Amino acid sequence: MSLNLHLLRLFAAVARHGSFSRAAEALHVSQPAVSRGVREFEDQVGNRLLERKASGVTPTEAGKILLRHASALFAAERAAEEDLAALRGLTSGSLSIGASTTISSWFLPSLLGEYHQAHPAIKLQLRIANTSDVLDLLLARELDVALVEGPAEHPGVVVRPWQEDRLVWIAASNHPLAKLPSPLTLDHIADELILVREPGSGTREVAAAAMTAHGFHPKEMLEVGSTEAIKHMVAAGIGIALISPAAFKAEALLHSLIALNIKDFTAIRMLNRLSLLERHPTAAAAAFERLLDRYNPSNPFCTA
């Protein structure tokens, strides 16, 4: 039995969207056509692939197995299209980049601008997620390029160092700590509210590891879902935080936030590039990888 890629694509869309109607809308076809195609596909493979429930549609065990293979098949199909496009000078194709928040917000914009200028015909997609989610997207073959700011381990993934990032403590410029002689010690911040990112965030993991390594155990922490929100809260006088210096360049120039010099405290992390083992990069991805190789941050607050 050979898989019908058209019917496989219909099934995968329904499984991904959890709905026949939403899949039909995404594929720009009628819902009856999607329903008919999925039924025909289930007949062909000899397994029920989807569970129809009042709350939506979910894949069966057989469906989950097939979805894993579908991701690889669609990635191979797109890679073939990209390689053929390379012979035409990257005049068509797409590039899906996944990056954690700090990288996507403050490291990638200039690179994406340069890439778009060089290859305007390539359709770009940037998916912003925390480190663990970027890894999951890569494993699902939904990304061509993956960049993360935290530890990432998987037997099927190659991790390559990209840039070094030295986290710094930040506080509002009018915070009482800003008026104390520098350098400060960890005792000075022992009673402060510490703002941290959510579990799964690379910044959260690196900051937690650094605090533990220095024997610093905050008395009170507040979990915040984004670095932007953390900066706004710190600027408003709500605690202090440990973030990438690249993330508060503008606030430092505007003097709304300052970096606290904490004696003998270091929190250095490596920003990493992830790739699937034995997966050949598309031509569009290879062109972006070359930009990453040449990257040299001009941000004076960044130690990378």
pLDDT 10s digits, 125-154: 999 998 889 999 999 889 999 999 877 889
Contact by Cβ (8 Å): 121, 75: no
Q: How far is 299 from 132, CA to CA, in rounded Å?
A: 27
Contacts of 162 (CB under 8 A, 6+ apart): 147, 270, 271, 272, 273, 292, 295
Q: Say which CATH class 5-68 falls into.
A: mainly alpha
Kindly report which listed range (132-141, 172-181, 212-221, 289-298) carries the lowest average pLDDT score. Answer: 289-298
Instruction: Note the pLDDT of residue 93.
Output: 81
Distance CA 227, CA 244 (A): 9
- Rounded to an integer, the average pLDDT of 71-100 is 76
* Digit-coded pLDDT (tens) for 66-85: 888 887 787 777 777 666 66
What's the pLDDT at 125? 96
Task: Report the chain's mean pLDDT, rounded to a whole number.
Answer: 87
Residue 102: the pLDDT is 86
Residue 175 neighbours by CB distance under 10 Å: 19
**Alpha-carbon gap, residue 3 to 112, rounded angstroms:** 37
pLDDT digits 0-9 by tens, 50-67: 988 877 889 899 888 888
In eight-state DSSP terms, residue 70 is: H
Distance CA 158, CA 236 (A): 41
Higher pLDDT: 197 or 75? It is: 197
Do the bridges between strand 168-172 and strand 145-148 make them parallel or antiparallel, or are there none, so unpaired?
Answer: unpaired
pLDDT value of position 304: 33
Encoding tokens for residue 15?
A: 């499984």
Phi, psi (degrees; rounded to nearest 5) at 201: -75, 135
With respect to CATH, is domain 90-164+270-294 assigned 3.40.190.10? yes
Tokens 């650094």: give the residue.
Answer: 210
* pLDDT at residue 88, as a whole number: 58
Distance CA(257)–CA(170), nearest Å, equals 6
Kindly report, as residue ranges, where domains of CATH 3.40.190.10 are found in the chain: 90-164+270-294, 168-266
Q: Which CATH class is domain 168-266?
A: alpha beta
The one-character DSSP state at 181 is P
Question: For position 66, what pLDDT does the model report?
Answer: 87
Compute the average pLDDT of residues 245-263: 90
